[in-house]
Structure 1
Amino acid sequence: MGFLEFLKDMLSEPAILMGLVAMVGLIALKSPGHKVLTGTLGPILGYLMLSAGANVISSNLEPLSKMIEKGFHIKGVVPNNEAITSVAQDLLGVETMSILVVGLLFNLLIARVTRYKYVFLTGHHSFFMACLLSAVLGATGFSGWQMVVVGGFFLGAWSAISPAIGQRFTLKVTDGDEVALGHFGSLGYYLSALIGKAVGGKSASTEDIKVPEKYSFLRNTTISTGLTMIVFYLIAAIAAGGDYVSTLSDGKSPYIFAVLSGLQFAVGVAIVYAGVRMILADLIPAFQGIATKLIPNAVPAVDCAVFFPYAPTAVIIGFVSSFVGGLIGMFVLGIAGGVLIIPGLVPHFFCGATAGIFGNATGGRRGAVVGAFVNGLLLAFLPALLLPVLGALGFSNTTFGDVDFAIIGLALGKVGDMIGTGGIYGLAGILVIVLALPSILRPSKVAVNNSEED
Structure 2
Amino acid sequence: MMSIINFIVQNILTQASITIALIAMLGLILQKKSVGQVISGSLKTMLGFMVLSAGSSIIVSSLTYFGKIFTKGFHMQGIVPSIEAINGQAMNQLGLGRDIALTFLAIFIVNIIIARFTKWKYIFLTGQAILWMATMTTVFGYFAGLRGFALIVIGGIIGGIFAVAMPALAQPFVRKITGMDEIALGHFCTIGYLFEAGVAKLFGERGEKKKSIEDIQLPKSFEFLQDTYLSVMVVMVPLYIVTAVFAGEKFGSTFSGSTNYIMYAFLQSIQFVVGVYVLMSGVRLLLGEIVPAFRGIAMRLVPKAVPALDCPVLFPYSPNAVILGFITTTIGSIIAMFVLPIFGLAMILPGMLTAFFAGGTAGIFGNVVGGRRGALIGGVLHGFFITLLPALLVTIFNSMGFVNATATDVDTVTAALLYAWIISPILKAF
Contact 2:123 2:164 (8 Å CA) reproduced: yes
Give the CA deviation at 1:106: 1.0
Q: What displacement does 1:61 show? A: 0.9
Deviation at residue 338 of structure 1 after TM alignment:
2.1
Q: Which residue of 2 aligns with 1:132?
A: 136
Stretches of structure 2 lacking an aligned partner (at least 5 in a row)? none
Normalising to structure 1: TM-score of the pair? 0.90
1:46 is the counterpart of 2:53: no
- Distance, in Å, in 1 between the alignment partners of 2:314 and 2:16 is 16
SS of structure 2 residue aligned to 1:420: helix
**Deviation per CA, 1:366-395, whole angstroms, max 9, x where unpaired?**
122222222211121110101233334433
- Equivalent residue, structure 2, for 1:12: 14
Q: Note if 1:377 corresponds to 2:384.
A: yes
C-alpha distance 106-60 of structure 1, shift in aligned 2 (>3 A): same
- The match for 1:451 is none
Gaps of 5+ in 1: 424-454
The residue number in structure 1 matching 2:205 is: 200
User: Contact between 2:122 and 2:167, CA under 8 Å: does it hold in 1?
Assistant: yes
- Deviation of residue 256 (structure 1)? 0.2
Deviation at 1:396, TM superposition (A): 2.9
| Aligned residue runs from structure 1 range 37-116, under 5 A | 37-90=39-92, 91=94, 92-116=96-120
Counterpart amino acid of residue 17 in structure 2: A
Q: Secondary structure at the match of 2:307?
A: strand
The answer to whether the aligner puts 1:402 opposite 2:409 as a matched pair is: yes
Give the CA deviation at 1:203.
Answer: 2.6
- Give the whole-Å Cα distance in 2 for the aligned partners of 1:67 and 1:398: 21
> Secondary structure of 1:141's partner?
coil
Give 1:419's match in structure 2, choosing from 413, 426, 429. Answer: 426
RMSD (Å), alpha carbons = 1.4
- The answer to which of 208-217 and 188-197 deviates more is 188-197
AA aligned opposite 1:231: P
Show the counterpart of 2:160: 156
CA offset at residue 421 of structure 1?
6.0
Shift of 1:29: 0.7
For 1:200, give the aligned amino acid: E
Distance in 2 between residues matched to 1:219 and 1:176, nearest whole Å: 24
Q: Which residue of 1 aligns with 2:398?
A: 391
Cα distance in structure 2, aligned partners of 1:392 and 1:290: 45
Q: Secondary structure at the match of 2:308?
A: strand
1:34-433 superposed matches below 5 A: 34-90=36-92, 91=94, 92-198=96-202, 199-201=204-206, 202-420=209-427
**Cα distance in structure 2, aligned partners of 1:399 and 1:154:** 20
Distance between the aligned counterparts of 2:150 and 2:425, measured in 1?
A: 19
* Displacement after TM superposition at 1:357 (Å): 0.5
What is the CA–CA distance in structure 1 between the aligned matches of 2:376 and 2:331, rounded to whole Å? Answer: 10
TM-score by length of 2: 0.95
Deviations 1:248-276 (A, max 9, x none): 21232111011101000000011110000
TM-superposed CA distance for 1:400, in Å, is 1.1
For residues 67 and 200 of structure 1, what CA distance do their matches in structure 2 show? 36
Equivalent residues of 1:227, 1:263 under 8 A apart = no
Would the aligned equivalents of 2:397 and 2:405 in 1 still touch at CA under 8 Å? no
Amino acid of the structure 2 residue aligned with 1:369: L
Letter in 2 for 1:376: G
Q: Partner amino acid for 1:28?
A: L
CA drift of 1:419 comes to: 2.1
Instruction: Tell me how far 1:354 sits from its aligned partner.
Output: 0.2
Shift in Å, 1:422: 7.2
Conserved? CA contact 2:345–2:392, under 8 Å: no
Using the TM superposition, give the Cα deviation of residue 304 of structure 1 relative to its aligned residue in structure 2, in angstroms.
Answer: 0.5
The count of corresponding residues between Structure 1 and Structure 2 is 423
SS at match of 2:48: helix
SS of the residue corresponding to residue 231 of structure 2 reads helix
Task: Decide whether aligned partners of structure 1 residues 287 and 422 sit closer, same or farther in structure 2, where only a CA change above 3 A counts.
Answer: farther
Residue in structure 2 matched with residue 443 of structure 1 by the alignment:
none
Note the alpha carbon deviations across 1:161-186, whole angstroms, 9 max, x for none. Answer: 11111211110111124111100001
Aligned residues with identical type, % of pairs = 40
